[in-house]
């Protein structure tokens, strides 16, 4: 699977532009309905359309992107009159609105109806005399036509043998990028060949969204409602996931980032890694007592919502193995609300599935808003705030290196292992971590088969961990290095025993 993150593609630039313009509407519009209707024309210049063949298609796609960015749903295509762009605006022009499912949606007019899975012969075919592709095909699907190999798609069984033997690498496998990126098989096809997300299977990891080169998949946002809440005078406190390091430029220190958030209107800023420290201590204690003690076969982490939702859905027999500890987001939110009962809590992170988690009724009283780094960048731009120009203020000193390490794949299990080695030396620790839902599914199958007994299994929906989340701004490898630097800067290596 290719990874376009970290590359400023036109699709990415358009997505960022929509967030910036929607935030600008919230901050500056005096006639919201008219300004929202005019926005597609402002964003899509007639001369610079992404869809060269049709500027009207570009504006149609942009209209739906605007609706999703304002927390609204797509307009149904099967109605005779799909309604105005601003239909339902009053229900979203408020200061408190939770995500309404489905969170992740395909914009039909943007979908390219990519082939799901097929092998084709490219122009690189030299029409060689050996034509091994034809010799190895078990179904006789390949014939020579005018000196070139041709695959009969009706006969082809997608075994890839022809691709493996071609000396010119002339056989190409075409696969729908969103479907290839989905680890839970939630992408299906409608009667027009366009992608559709099965919301019953989808776990909102967002990997389909970042893999679509047409920008046809988008998630809903709360930035408009968050700005309305800030304008209402409510006390807003941010908690930031450790993956924020490096997301707003190589020169932006944690102190500068905190100053930028304060400038935006937040009363205070906490590290979500504070809640991760509490979870690390509790899960380590549980592992020592239950798994190492022989009373439980294996243990599963719970901090990634997409991983835990998938585990509960596809492997219900593992439910009692999933940690009961609060996720770092919820644990930190409860600490904030204990200290500031009158405040609203905003989680700022890399993750689309945290939006899914926050919409659960059991979490709604703890976390009021969830926005991604990408959405926050749009808010900064709309307000003219440049994090790299901020005067540093007091830094973030809430968490240990263990909690900050949760932002990278392997970091959760590594933190728990470090804790056990610190306080329970001599305890045998078996660690496994899986990144990407396909690998997570495989790990759970092995655990179900008894191949993971004695293990602590960390699952991360995004390949690379939280730094690879769907709402990030920079390349995964760079983000991982920045989190490691932030981790090394922590005053303490592991939390105190018992999470005190």
Question: How confident is the model over 109-120, as pLDDT tens digits?
Answer: 999 999 888 999
In the structure encoding, which two tokens stand for residue 270, read together?
């906490």
**What is residue 314's predicted lDDT score, i.e. its pLDDT?**
93
Q: Could you tell me the CA-to-CA distances from 365 to 22, 228, 244, 361, 463 in Å, in that order?
A: 26, 19, 24, 8, 31
- Structure confidence by residue, pLDDT tens digits, 214-249: 999 999 999 999 999 999 999 999 999 999 999 999
CATH number, domain containing residue 164: 3.30.70.20
Separation CA 299–CA 311 (nearest Å): 12
Vertex 109 angle, CA 103 and 114, to 5°: 90
Boundary of a domain, candidates 175, 210, 245: 175
For every residue of 434-445, DSSP letters joined together read EESHHHHHHHHH
Q: Are residues 262 and 157 in the same domain?
A: no
Residue 342 lies inside a defined structural domain of this protein: yes
Residue 38 lies inside a defined structural domain of this protein: no
How many structural domains are present in the chain? 2
Q: Are strands 217-219 and 104-106 parallel, antiparallel or unpaired?
A: antiparallel
Q: Are residues 245 and 163 in the same domain?
A: no
Q: Are residues 316 and 409 in the same domain?
A: yes
**Percent of the chain scoring above 90 in pLDDT:** 82
Boundary of a domain, candidates 149, 175, 201: 175
CB environment 370-394: b (16+ within 10 A), e (fewer): bbbbbbbbbbbbbbebebeebeeee
Q: Are residues 298 and 398 in the same domain?
A: yes
- Structure confidence by residue, pLDDT tens digits, 73-97: 887 765 555 567 877 777 676 667 6
Q: Are residues 267 and 373 in the same domain?
A: yes
Q: Could you tell me where the beta strands, DSSP code E, fall in 272-358? A: 299-300, 343-349
Residue 238 lies inside a defined structural domain of this protein: yes
Q: For CA atoms 161, 164, 165, 170, give the dihedral sign.
A: positive
In the structure encoding, which two tokens stand for residue 77, read together?
């295509």
Q: Are residues 166 and 238 in the same domain?
A: no
Residue 74 lies inside a defined structural domain of this protein: no
Cα dihedral value 267, 268, 269, 275, nearest 10? -120
Determine the straight-line distance between the first and last CA of the chain, rounded to whole angstroms. Answer: 42
Q: Are residues 239 and 171 in the same domain?
A: no
Boundary of a domain, candidates 175, 190, 215: 175
Q: Mean of the pLDDT values across residues 256-260? A: 96
Q: For CA atoms 162, 167, 172, 173, give the dihedral sign.
A: positive
Residue 91 lies inside a defined structural domain of this protein: no
339 confidence band (pLDDT: 50, 70, 90): very high
Separation CA 23–CA 447 (nearest Å): 45
Q: Are residues 330 and 446 in the same domain?
A: yes
Residue 491 lies inside a defined structural domain of this protein: yes
- Structure confidence by residue, pLDDT tens digits, 380-435: 999 999 999 999 878 888 899 999 999 999 999 999 999 999 999 999 999 999 99
- Structure confidence by residue, pLDDT tens digits, 152-168: 999 999 999 999 999 99
Q: Are residues 170 and 261 in the same domain?
A: no
Q: Could you tell me the CA-to-CA distances from 392 to 169, 265, 266, 387, 438 in Å, in that order?
A: 54, 16, 16, 10, 42
- Structure confidence by residue, pLDDT tens digits, 98-151: 677 788 999 999 999 998 889 999 999 999 999 999 999 999 999 999 989 999
Average pLDDT, the chain: 91
Q: Could you tell me the CA-to-CA distances from 329 to 128, 142, 240, 432 in Å, in that order?
A: 59, 54, 9, 23
Q: Are residues 287 and 433 in the same domain?
A: yes
Q: For CA atoms 218, 357, 430, 486, give the dihedral sign.
A: positive
Residue 160 lies inside a defined structural domain of this protein: yes
In the structure encoding, which two tokens stand for residue 357, read together?
């988690």
Q: Are residues 301 and 422 in the same domain?
A: yes
Residue 386 lies inside a defined structural domain of this protein: yes
The domain of 127 spans 117-175
Q: Are residues 125 and 246 in the same domain?
A: no
> Which residue did the predictor score with more confidence, 48 or 289?
289
**What is residue 222's predicted lDDT score, i.e. its pLDDT?**
93
Give, for 455, the enclosing helix (H) or strand (E): strand 455-460
């Amino acid at each position: 699977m290719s990874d376009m993150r970290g590359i400023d593609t036109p699709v990415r630039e358009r997505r960022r532009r929509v967030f910036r313009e929607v935030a600008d509407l919230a901050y500056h519009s005096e006639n919201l309905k008219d300004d929202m209707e005019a926005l597609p024309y402002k964003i899509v210049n007639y001369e610079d359309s992404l869809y060269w063949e049709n500027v009207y298609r570009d504006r149609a796609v942009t209209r739906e992107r605007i609706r999703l960015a304002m927390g609204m749903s797509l307009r149904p295509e099967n109605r005779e009159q799909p309604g105005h762009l601003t239909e339902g605006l009053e229900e979203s022009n408020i200061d408190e609105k939770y995500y309404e499912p489905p969170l992740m949606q395909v914009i039909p007019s943007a979908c390219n109806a990519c082939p799901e899975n097929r092998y084709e012969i490219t122009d690189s075919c030299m029409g060689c005399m050996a034509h091994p592709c034809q010799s190895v095909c078990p179904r006789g699907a390949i014939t020579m036509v005018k000196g070139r190999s041709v695959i009969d798609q009706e006969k082809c069984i997608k075994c890839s043998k022809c691709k493996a033997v071609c000396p010119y690498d002339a056989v190409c496998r075409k696969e729908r990028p969103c479907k290839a990126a989905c680890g839970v098989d939630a992408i299906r096809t409608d009667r027009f060949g366009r992608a559709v997300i099965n919301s019953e299977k989808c776990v909102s990891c967002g990997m389909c969204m970042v893999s679509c080169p047409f920008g046809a998949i988008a998630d809903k946002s709360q930035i408009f409602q968050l700005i309305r809440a800030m304008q209402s005078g409510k006390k807003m406190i941010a908690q930031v996931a450790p993956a924020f390091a490096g997301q707003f430029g190589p020169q932006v220190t944690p102190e500068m980032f905190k100053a930028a958030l304060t400038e935006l209107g937040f009363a205070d800023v906490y590290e979500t890694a504070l809640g991760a420290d509490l979870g690390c201590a509790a899960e380590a204690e549980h592992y020592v007592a239950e798994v190492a003690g022989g009373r439980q076969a294996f243990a599963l982490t719970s901090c990634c919502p997409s991983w835990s939702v998938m585990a509960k859905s596809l492997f219900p027999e593992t439910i009692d193995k999933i940690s009961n500890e609060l996720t770092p987001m919820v644990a930190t939110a409860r600490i904030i609300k204990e200290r500031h009962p009158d405040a609203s809590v905003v989680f700022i992170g890399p993750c689309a599935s945290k939006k899914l988690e926050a919409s659960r009724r059991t979490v709604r009283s703890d976390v009021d808003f969830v926005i991604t780094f990408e959405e926050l960048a749009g808010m900064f731009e709309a307000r003219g705030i440049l994090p790299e120009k901020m005067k540093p203020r007091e830094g973030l000193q809430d968490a240990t290196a263990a909690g900050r390490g949760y932002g990278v794949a392997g970091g959760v299990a590594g933190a728990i292992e470090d804790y056990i080695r610190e306080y329970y030396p001599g305890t045998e620790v078996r660690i496994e971590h899986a990144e990407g839902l396909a690998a997570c599914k495989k790990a759970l199958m092995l655990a179900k088969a008894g191949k993971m007994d004695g293990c602590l299994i960390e699952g991360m929906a995004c390949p690379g961990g939280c730094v690879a989340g769907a709402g990030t701004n920079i390349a995964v490898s760079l983000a991982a290095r920045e989190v490691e630097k932030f981790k090394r800067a922590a005053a303490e290596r592991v939390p105190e025993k018992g999470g005190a």
